[in-house]
Each structure stands twice: as C-alpha cells, then as structure tokens.
Amino acid sequence: MHSGFPALLRGSGAEVSSGPRCCLIGWQHPSGGLPARGGGACREGRSEVLEEPASWSQTWRAVSAGPSPVREVADFQLSVDSLLENNNDHSRPDIQIQAMRLAEKLKCDTVVSEISTGQGTVNFKINRELLTKTVLQQVIEDGSKYGLKSELFSGLPKKRIVVEFSSPNVAKKFHVGHLRSTIIGNFIANLKEALGHQVTRINYLGDWGMQFGLLGTGFQLFGYEEKLQSSPLQHLFEVYVQVNKEAADDKNVAKSAHEFFQRLELGDMQALALWQKFRDLSIDEYMRIYQRLGVHFDEYSGESFYREKSQEVLKLLDSKGLLQKTLKGTAVVDLSGNGDPSSVCTVMRSDGTSLYATRDLAAAIDRMEKYNFDKMIYVTDKGQKKHFQQVFQILQIMGYDWAERCQHVPFGVVQGMKTRRGDVTFLEDVLNEIRLRMLQNMASIKTTKELENPEETAEQVGLAALIIQDFRGFLLSDYQFSWDRVFQSRGDTGVFLQYTHARLHSLEETFGCGYLNDFNTACLQEPQSVSILQHLLRFDEVLYRSSQDLQPRHIVSYLLTLSHLAAVAHRTLHVRNSPPEVAGARLHLFRAVRSVLANGMKLLGITPLSHQKKGCETSPVNLNTLLLQCSKTSRVWCTVSGLTFRSVAPY
C-alpha cells in the first residue's frame, strides 16, 4: 500500500477515479515533496477544464521542489501551469482563471476538507484526523518496511543484483581512498535488499598484478617474518615503499620484480606460497576493519582468480578478430575501428601477462555465468570512468548483450583527511581519530562511566558523523573533509541523528508501552504534529528518488529535516504532566518518528544507538546527555529533569 497521499484517498472510502484524466498530477507538497501519484479526490475529469499535458514527464518536471509559504492553507498543491501545453505561449488563457475554474469543479469529500486557489495553483487541505490515523497506523504496522510497500515500488520486478565495492589492494593497509567505495557500495546494497532484490555483495580485491612482483622481491630483500606476523600490513607497506625506491635506482631490482611476477603468472609454487601468505594476512586485517564499519560481503573475490580465465578472454578476442598486436608487442582492442589512439584499450603486456582490463572482462563473464545477474554495479572513484566504459564496450563487441546491464557508479575524491599527527593515509587512522575525539568529548561527562561500552558508543557516533558528512552532497563531487564540520554545532550531523534517535528511544522507555495501545487522533492536530505527519508521508518518495539515482543525499536530507521537526515538536508537545489521552497520542507520534529515523539510518549504514546503562535500568539522560555534549551544540535540545525538553536557543 502506498504510504503517500493517494493511500489516504483509497483508504477513506472516497470516490476516486483511477483513470488518468482524473489523476491529480502536478501535486506538490507545500514542504517541497514530489507530486503525489495515483488517484485524486476529484469527482469530475479535469479534461473538462484543461487539456492533457504534452507528456507526463513534462508535468513531473514542472513541479517545483522548493519550499512553499502556504503550509497553513494547503497540504498539497496542484500547479495549473504544469498541466498546460506550450508554457511559453502567451495566447493561452489566464492561468489564474483556469485555476479558479478547476477549483469550482472539484468537490470536498471525506479526504479533502478544503479546496482553495493560490497564484496559479489549486490548494487542497486534507482531513487532519484521517492524515494522523493513516500515517501512524501505517508506520507502526509496516515497521522496517514502511515506505517500501509503496505503490511506487509495487510494479518493480525483483532482480538479481551484484554490487562490487570496497576492493582494497592486498598487502597494503586499507587506504582512506577506499572508504567512499565501501560506505557507498554498502548503502546501495542495503537499499536494493530493502526493496526486495536478491543482492550479492562482492569485494573484488586487488590481489594480482605487477605490484606483487615488487612486493615479492622486496620481501626477499628487506622482509622479516617476525614483523610480518606481528604487524603484517604495516610491515608490507614499509617493504613496498623501500623496494620501489630501490627499483627506481637499480634496474636489477626492477628486473627481479618483473621476473617474480612472471613466476606468479606461470604458477611457480614458491612464489605463489609467499603471495598466498600476503593475501591471507591482508584479508584478516580487512575483515577487522569491515567489522568496525558494520559492512559485510557475500564473496571475497580478486584479480588472482581470473589470471587463467583472462587468457581465455584473450583467445576469444583473438578468435573474433578483435585483438591487435602493436610494435611493442602488446595486444590491444581498437574500440574506434579506425585506429584512434584515445580509443585503444591494452589487454596484454608484451610478455603475455594479463592486465587489469583483461581480468575485469574475465570477471564480468564469470559472474554472469555464476549469478545470471539482472544488474551489476561497480562502485569506484571517477578516475576509473574511462576504464569501465572500455570494459563494457569490449563486452558489447564480443557479443555479450548483457553488458548493458553493467553500471559504474563513480564518486569524487575526499581531500584534507588529516589527523593531529599529519596526513592520513590509512582508514584505520581515521576510525581511531573519530573514536578518540568522541571519547575526549565524553570524558568530562559523569554518565560516561555508566555506559556499558563507551568506546563502542564513541565509534558508532563518530561513524554516523563521518557517513552523514560524506553523503550530504552529490557522490560525484569532490569535497574537502573537515573535522570541525563533522562535529559542528549547528545540528546537521550524524551526531544529531544519533542524539535524536537515542532521545526518542528513551522517551518510549521512560513512559512505557502502556500508552501505545491506542491513541486519539484528535489529540495530534497541532501544527507541529501535522508538520511531522506530512513529512512522514513523504518517506516513500525519498526512497524512490534514491533508488532511481543511487544517491543517498535524498535520505540524509529527509532524516535531518525529520530530526529538526521532532526537536521543534518536543519544545511544546510535552508528554509528562499531559492528560493520558494526549500523552499517548504524542508517544505514538514520537515512536513513529524514531521508527522511520532508524529505518533511514540503517539504509545509510548507520547503527542507531539506544542508551543502556551498565548493570541497571535504562536512564533517560545518560547517552542523550553524552551525545548532546559531544555535538557541542547550543542550538539543539536540553533535558529538563530528564523528561521534558526545550530548545536552548531558537532555531
């Protein structure tokens, strides 16, 4: 069932035409939502007033997404301008007259309580009690599936989806550059799974290539087994840096590295044993990092798996007449057909060893055979855009029509990730820095010692702060990382989301679930309640947007707004000392906010925090006070006797 406005119409008993001519396209939520879809409350076809628009997509684009000043007079708006053809035609009838004529033909019913006109719009105010009952019941009944059962998703077939993400380089510490791929890929996989698709999460490790020739030679020259066992990735990193310097000055070292990689390609047992040791130690370290991030994979694959299959790809390319030898002895595929150097993809070195592109071709073919995917998504930085374009194009000319099911999701570069010790290279340094800063903020608060696991709390809050900063903008954009912005005092951070969730969770536990058996919709008619209900109504639209463009920013913006609306509501909608009927209704409202907030946070890869005290009953103030202090905010919330809330300063 759609959780948006059309659901109210269908659930109300109102007469609703499902035909397109009675569908009120062009709906706009006054707070800036998408137009509502499905049936409208009108009893007469709008074709008697207006002609059909040139196209539905044209109408969709014409709906403004900006905020509207008419929240007090309308819940939804129909933009008459969006329904008219030839928007630049000055000879068309006056829009205001058209709006008035249309409003006269529409009638109020059990859903729509008031119809009026604005500047080129028809405004609709819906039955407040119906809004309250429908939204809150739907949130509570659907639970973690709220918004996902929308009619927006009802016609979508369930698909087999492969998501390849993270993909660090074996024998190197987890570089901070792999953080974005990891959290973005995790978000995409979470969203696709929530929508009911069968998702396979693949970590395609960089565990093959010339760098292992350098590393193998370097370890033989500079490596120590004791250091390898005690701190494997740090030691291998030191060895790799040293051998690169030596290879730049000594051609014999470079030659030895080249020969070592050839031995790997030919299956030399001694060389493979050393490589396998490096790989196993690396994966153990990576899994520890993934556990901290709350990320998991269904398959740990790697380039090494395709070293033989890549030779089969080369033979197949050759048999199709697509493989060309250059004067240097390398093998290339000319994607232009006319020898354009910029459209040539090298697939084999002069010594016959494979390349990154060759192994990606082999991996794609193998995954189609193994998973028969409907969609395969690669999450890497935008610097690999051309690489994937060439891989997909080669698959196409090889005759694999399913290549069009492959998609590259690129992202920009994060700049300025530095700790107090200087430049950060490794992700673990960033995670440790986040935990350290959060613990320092928490150290001065007496309730820190009462938390069951303060380090775990600090890490989860810090991760939320990191993820929200990363996801607030377009994924493709580069951005400057700022510690101050991560923990900024204005509220729009992951700390604020965690605080909001913990505060609402404590509210439920403080007053118990006895209030939540039933509620009176008439007790939730204040503007603050209505604003929250209208926002909850839009959750499916936000999920739909993110499912279409795979951008988490829509969900982030929605959750931050929801948290601010909840903060405003807490200023006036007190639970304590309110009549039981009023208190129960308000608890229902805040419970719905917390539920939707938790759903959205989990999709983003954030673990919502509650507030358990060590060895005793839950305290409504411990974690909430910590989070409030950690955000160093003077503009969010304050606890009054641990029960009621006010804003320290107005928003």
Average of per-residue pLDDT across 227-245: 91
Q: What is the pLDDT of residues 352-380, one digit of tens each?
A: 878 899 999 999 999 999 999 999 999 99
Q: Which two three-digit tokens encode residue 543? A: 């999920």
Q: pLDDT band for position 519 (50/70/90)?
A: confident
535 has pLDDT over 90: yes
Q: How confident is the model at residue 610 (pLDDT cuts 50, 70, 90)?
A: confident
Residue 390 clears pLDDT 70, i.e. is over it? yes
**Core vs surface per residue 115-150: b (16+ CB within 10 A) or e:** bebbebbbbbbbbbebbbbbbbebbeebeeebbbbb
Q: What percent of the chain has pLDDT over 90?
A: 49
Q: How confident is the model at residue 591 (pLDDT cuts 50, 70, 90)?
A: very high
Q: What is the pLDDT of residue 80?
A: 82
pLDDT of residue 338: 79
pLDDT at 251: 92
How many angstroms separate the CA atoms of 236 and 284, rounded? 14
pLDDT at 120: 84
- Predicted local confidence at residue 4, as pLDDT: 52
What are residue 213's phi and psi, to 5 degrees? Answer: -65, -45
pLDDT of residue 353: 79
Domain boundaries, given as residue ranges, for the chain: 69-84+93-126, 207-297, 427-604
Range in 56-65, 247-256, 328-337, 414-423 the model is least confident about? 56-65
Q: Collapsing DSSP states into helix, strand and coil, what is residue 638?
A: strand
The residue that leads in pLDDT, 630 or 76, is 76
Q: How confident is the model at residue 40 (pLDDT cuts 50, 70, 90)?
A: very low
Picking from 506, 647, 626, the residue whose alpha carbon sits closest to that of residue 570 is: 647
DSSP string of 153-213, one letter each residue = HHTPPP-EEEEE---PBTTS--BTTHHHHHHHHHHHHHHHHHTT-EEEEEEEEB--SHHHH
Give the tens place of pLDDT for each residue, 177-196.
788 999 999 999 999 999 99
The pairing of beta strand 198-205 with beta strand 160-164 = parallel
Q: How many helices (H) and strands (E) does the chain have?
A: 23, 18
Q: Label residue 89 by pLDDT band (50, 70, 90).
A: low
The architecture in CATH of the region 69-84+93-126 reads 2-Layer Sandwich (3.30)
Judged against a pLDDT cut of 50, whether residue 613 lies above it is answered with: no
Average of pLDDT values for 11-18?
Answer: 34
Residue 107 CB neighbours (<10 A) = 12
State pLDDT tens for residues 537-562.
Answer: 999 999 999 999 999 999 999 999 99
Q: How confident is the model at residue 59 (pLDDT cuts 50, 70, 90)?
A: very low
Work out the average pLDDT over 309-317. 94
Give the pLDDT score at 420: 46
Of 38 and 394, the structure prediction assigns the larger pLDDT to 394
Task: Grade residue 514 by pLDDT with cuts at 50, 70 and 90.
Answer: low
Dihedral class, residue 333 (left if φ above 0, else alpha if ψ from -120 to 50, else beta)? beta
- pLDDT of residue 249 exceeding 70: yes
pLDDT score recorded for residue 12 = 39
pLDDT reading at 39 higher than 70 = no
Q: What is the pLDDT of residues 280-297, one digit of tens each?
A: 999 998 999 999 999 999
Lowest mean pLDDT among 295-299, 566-570, 604-608: 566-570
What per-residue confidence (pLDDT) applies to 568? 93
Helices 128-142 + 527-536 axis angle, to 10:
50
pLDDT at 445 over 70: no
Highest-confidence range of 130-144, 333-347, 409-423, 436-450, by mean pLDDT?
130-144
Mean pLDDT on 42-54: 36
Contact 651, 642 (CB under 8 A): no
> What residues contact 450, with CB distance under 8 A and at least 6 apart?
613, 614, 616, 619, 622
Count CB-CB contacts under 10 A for residue 346.
Answer: 16
Query: Among 645, 589, 596, 613, which residue's Cα sits nearest to residue 497?
Result: 596
Taking the C-alpha atoms of residue 419 and residue 126, their distance in angstroms, rounded to an integer, is: 52
Question: What is the reported pLDDT for 60?
Answer: 34
- Collect contacts of 319-327 with beta carbons under 8 A, ≥24 apart: 320/398, 320/399, 322/394, 322/397, 322/398, 323/347, 323/348
Q: Please, are residues 612 and 456 in contact by the beta-carbon 8 Å criterion?
A: no
Active site residues: 172, 175, 178
d(CA 7, CA 269): 65
- The pLDDT value recorded for residue 176 is 74
Go through 256-274 and write b for each residue having 16 or more CB atoms within 10 A of its CB, e for each that does not.
bbbebbbbbbeeeeebbeb
Predicted local confidence at residue 20, as pLDDT: 28
| φ/ψ (deg, to 5) at 249 | -100, -20
The DSSP bridge partners found for residue 206 are 169
On average, the pLDDT of the chain sits at 79
What local confidence, expressed as pLDDT, does residue 447 receive? 52
| Residue 634 pLDDT > 60 | no
pLDDT value at position 13? 36
At 423, the pLDDT band (50, 70, 90 cuts) reads low
Instruction: Tell me which CATH code domain 427-604 carries.
Output: 1.10.730.10
pLDDT in tens, 101-149: 888 888 888 888 889 888 888 888 888 888 899 999 999 999 999 999 9
Strands 406-411 and 375-381: parallel
